[in-house]
A and B are shown apart, each in its own frame.
Chain A
Amino acid sequence: MNRATEATVQAPASVRRAPLIAAWGSRRVRRAAGRLALYLVLAAGSVVFLLPFYYMLNMAVSTPASIGKYPPDWIPRPIMLSNFPEGWVAYYNFTKYLRNTLLITSATLVGQLVSCTLVGYGFARLRFYGRGVWFVILLSTMMLPSQVTLVPQYVIFAKLKWVNTYKPLIVPAYFGSAFYIFLLRQFFMTLPRDLDDAARIDGCGYLSILLRVLLPLCKPPLIAVGVFSFVSHWSDFFGPLIYLNDPEKWTLVLGTTALVTSWGHTFIHMGYVMAVTTLVVVPVLVIYFWAQRYFIEGITLTGVRG
């Protein structure tokens, strides 16, 4: 109703103007122009955001000669796919690094899912003395810079003789992460309590309420946590850098950065470096595309509540 009155008020004013200006005055034309402008802005931004990706892929499939060329070839000729298999084995054994990385990511994934679900359920569904205080402490650990605990943690792991093993990277995951616990707790809070009560009347204990009743409903947040956990351990640089000295035990990310420091400036190997970098990045992209819905849902959940 409001829009209608506005239109009738505006119409006479635009009629009096010259045709082109009159057309500009009409709502529909103005809106279309606005849309076009938005598309242009977004498209220009997309080019900026995608250009580095294209640059990486371009180098990954270029011959050393064409990487060294100036101005660069924007469509590489010839396209050299052999950079991928050759770069993979040229200097380091990346198959081994893949295996190491998969071991770490799967072990931490299991740990995070189990521990964060239990803790998230505890905070969301059980009334216990001091719950509020502990929850505030949990939230405040999210804001604690991890560097504060970095040195003493290293000292502890060094004393335990865990340096140069995967334990410092894996074991902490079994004690949960504040962010994932928070995420799961928020989701548990949205589920109706009647479910718990009904299950309790049927004789279920807390654990079977969680496992049989609530968990089947938790697919989206569990996938979000799983994806977050996988991607963050796949991508982790700092932890492996500190704890893994033996090149045999390195992860993919560590191996890639080592490639750069050993070959950094020579264009001869840039194709290899970029090919391997692409291979390390692609799984993250694939997983992200697959789980996009859950990913964004997870961010939305925490973003709004934050």
Chain B
Amino acid sequence: MATGVPQARARLGVRRLKQAQQENAAGYLFISPWLVGFFVFTAGPMAISLGLSLLKTDLLRPSTFVGLDNFVALVDDELFWKSLRNTAYYSLFSVALGMLASLALAFVMNVRLSGIRLFRTIYYLPAVLPSAPVAILWRQIFNPERGLANYLLDLLNLPPQKWIYSERLALPCLIAMSLWGIGSSLMIYLAGLQGIPTDLYEAAQIDGAGWWPKLRRVTLPMLSPTIFFNLIMSIIGSFMVFTASYVMTQGGPNNATLTYVLYLYNSAFRYFKFGYASALAWVLFFVVLGLTALVFRSSPMWVYYESELR
């Protein structure tokens, strides 16, 4: 009788331990689809990719080990540098202009206006469309003969341009097209703006702050995590640009729109240089990783997290 209580407690402890073990097993069981997928479709391929980048292989003939030759060959590969430059140029302008435009539009749309839902829908629309049909449409818009772009120039009495068939203008054309799809980052900004507690503005009002101090001291700091998120996502997205140049220009004229991923695609699936393409992929990986790391490192200077203060 006297040992009853400790015994019960011990039994309870055992039961709790058993329950914890059960929950452990159940947890792994539930996440197992992703876990298996992660190893089969992400981690495994990354390891294989590393191996492939050291090979010369076209999947048909037996492959040969070439060490770091693929990476060394990149240095002298003009198309590699050109595609990297093109992509950096595209990324810089489409990210910068896209961020500015979507942020400005989000500010405008954050005002309470009747009919604002209609405007939101209109601006968001292009962002959900499939990229290949969109590229087909814009290819026609930028058609030098009877395309919409030249017609608009004509209305303004400006001389017609060769657009995507001009080495100088082809890449800016792709950037212009990308700006048509700013709807999704616009929506994310809008959500961010609406998440800012109104009492902060009321407090600023009581302190007699005008619109500039409110923007500078309340809106931008509170929105900075959202800006950070959008910046990272658009940098990564812009480095992946493929469909636009594949459908609109096939990389031309004179490789002016050869983007990095298009070059990677060509190396693998047109020239069947799978080892070389893997090396290209790893360089891309490190470039994007470096850029995101840079943004992350700079974030303490300009991203404000409320929780840090508490």
Q: Which positions in A face B, CB cutoff 8 Å?
A: 2, 35, 38-39, 41-42, 45-46, 49-53, 55-56, 59, 67-72, 115, 118-119, 121-123, 126-129, 131, 134, 137-138, 141, 143-156, 158, 172, 174-176, 178, 181, 206, 231, 234-235, 237-238, 242, 253-254, 256-257, 260, 264, 267, 270, 273-274, 277, 280-281, 284-285, 288-289, 292, 295-296, 299-300, 303-304, 306
Contacts and interface: CB of A to CB of B under 8 A. Distances in A.
Interface stretch (B2-10, B32-40, B90-98): B32-40
A151 B278 contact: yes
A98 to B, nearest CB: 14
B268 A151 contact: yes
Given A148-B281, A175-B40, A242-B269, A52 B138 contact: yes
A210 B278 CA distance: 41
Contacts of B242: 238
Given A49-B180, A277-B137, A299-B184, A150 B281 contact: yes
A281 B278 CA distance: 34
* Residue from the set B123, B129, B180, B236 with the largest chain A CB neighbour count within 10 Å: B129
A237 B261 CA distance: 14
A153 B41 contact: yes
6 nearest A-B residue pairs (beta carbon): A175-B37, A128-B27, A122-B30, A235-B130, A303-B188, A306-B229
Given A55-B148, A118-B30, A123-B31, 14 more contacts: A52-B138, A71-B154, A119-B33, A127-B24, A127-B27, A152-B278, A154-B268, A158-B59, A175-B37, A235-B130, A237-B132, A256-B136, A257-B136, A277-B137
B46 A46 contact: no
A152 B40 CA distance: 11
Contacts of B35: 134
* Residue from the set A126, A127, A270, A285 with the largest chain B CB neighbour count within 10 Å: A126
Given A129-B24, A303-B229, A152 B141 contact: no
B49 A151 contact: yes
Contacts of A175: 33-34, 36-38, 40-41
Contacts of B108: 38, 41-42
Interface stretch (B77-85, B212-220, B282-290): B282-290
Interface in B292-306: 292
Contacts of A39: 113
Nearest to A42: B119
B185 to A, nearest CB: 9
B15 interface: no
Interface of B: 20, 23-31, 33-38, 40-42, 44-46, 48-49, 52, 59, 105, 108-109, 111, 113, 119, 121-126, 128-133, 135-141, 146, 148, 151, 154, 180, 184, 187-188, 191-192, 195, 205-206, 225-226, 229, 232-233, 236, 239-240, 242-243, 247, 261, 264, 268-269, 274, 277-278, 281-282, 284-285, 288, 292
Contacts of B180: 49, 52
Contacts of A126: 23, 26-27, 30
Chain A interface, >50% SS class: helix
A8 B11 CA distance: 75
A143 B130 contact: no
Contact of A49 (B126, B148, B154, B282): B126
Nearest to B188: A303
A300 B226 CA distance: 11
A256 B30 CA distance: 40
Contact of B122 (A46, A56, A280): A46
A208 B281 CA distance: 44
Chain B interface, >50% SS class: helix
Contacts of B42: 141, 144, 149
Contacts of B264: 147, 150-151
B38 A137 contact: yes
Nearest to B260: A147
Contacts of A72: 146, 151
A134 B33 CA distance: 13
A121 B30 CA distance: 7
B113 A55 contact: no
Contacts of A242: 269
Contact of A281 (B129, B188, B226): B129
B37 A155 contact: no
Contacts of A149: 41-42, 45-46, 49
B138 A256 contact: no
A35 B243 CA distance: 39
Contacts of B184: 299
B33 A152 contact: no
A303 to B, nearest CB: 4
Contacts of A67: 146
Nearest to A58: B148
B226 A304 contact: yes
A62 B281 CA distance: 44
Nearest to A174: B33
Contacts of B46: 148-149, 152
Nearest to A149: B45
Contacts of B48: 152, 155-156
A151 B240 CA distance: 15
Contact of B146 (A68, A144, A156): A68
A303 B129 contact: no
